Chain A
Amino acid sequence: QKEVEQDPGPLSVPEGAIVSLNCTYSNSAFQYFMWYRQYSRKGPELLMYTYSSGNKEDGRFTAQVDKSSKYISLFIRDSQPSDSATYLCALEGGNNNDMRFGAGTRLTVKP
C-alpha cells in the first residue's frame, strides 16, 4: 500500500462546477498538508498549506484535513478553465521531515 493514495483521474467538469479532490494516507506521523497545482510543462506551485484538522479557505479554494480518518481534500468553487491542471497533495512529517506526494489528479474544466 502506498503511503499516499490519490485518484489520478482524469476529472472533467463544466465551468462553474464545484470540484472535490482527495487524498488518503496511512502514516499518522504526517503533520503538515499541502496542495500543489501543476500546469503542463511547469513545476508544481503551492496552493494551500495547513497543519491542523479542519478547513482552511483561500478565495475559491478550501483545504480540508481529517487526521482521524487520514483523509485530505481540496475543494474548488466556481471552477474556471484556468483551473485546468494536475493537482498534487503533499504530506510532511516524521523524524526526518519526510515529504510524500500523491500521484496527482488531472483536472479539466470545460468552458
Chain B
Amino acid sequence: EAQVTQNPRYLITVTGKKLTVTCSQNMNHEYMSWYRQDPGLGLRQIYYSMNVEVTDKGDVPEGYKVSRKEKRNFPLILESPSPNQTSLYFCASSSAGGQPQHFGDGTRLSIL
C-alpha cells in the first residue's frame, strides 16, 4: 500500500528539548515536504526536498531543520523547540515538485 508514515503521531514535550519527527514514503517519490497546519492559516510549507541531498526553505522555516540522506526518508528536526511551534505537522511526497502530494496522517506536537 502506497503510504507516507510519520512518527510519532502525538508528542508533548518541553521548551528547548531537541526532537525529531520521522517521515518515510514507499512510493519512490523524488519530492518530499513538511507542512504545519494551524487554525485559520491552513497548510504552510516549512521545508521541501526535490531529491536526495537537495533541500530548500519553504514559507516558515525558522526553528526547523531537515535532511534528505535517503530517498525514502525526510526527518524534521526541532533543535530547540518553543511554544510557538505547537502545531499539527504533515509530511508529504510527490513524484515531482508541483504535482499532487500524498500526505501522512500528521504529528500533533505540543511544546510547553
Contact = CB atoms under 8 A, between A and B. Distances in A.
Interface of A: 4, 6, 8, 32, 34, 36, 41-46, 49, 88, 92-93, 96-97, 99, 101-104
Interface residues of B, number: 19
A6 B40 CA distance: 10
B43 A101 contact: yes
A42 B43 contact: no
B51 to A, nearest CB: 14
Interface in B33-75: 35, 40-45
A29 B90 CA distance: 25
16 contacts: A8-B40, A32-B98, A34-B100, A42-B105, A44-B90, A46-B102, A49-B100, A92-B98, A99-B45, A99-B101, A101-B42, A101-B43, A101-B44, A103-B40, A103-B42, A104-B42
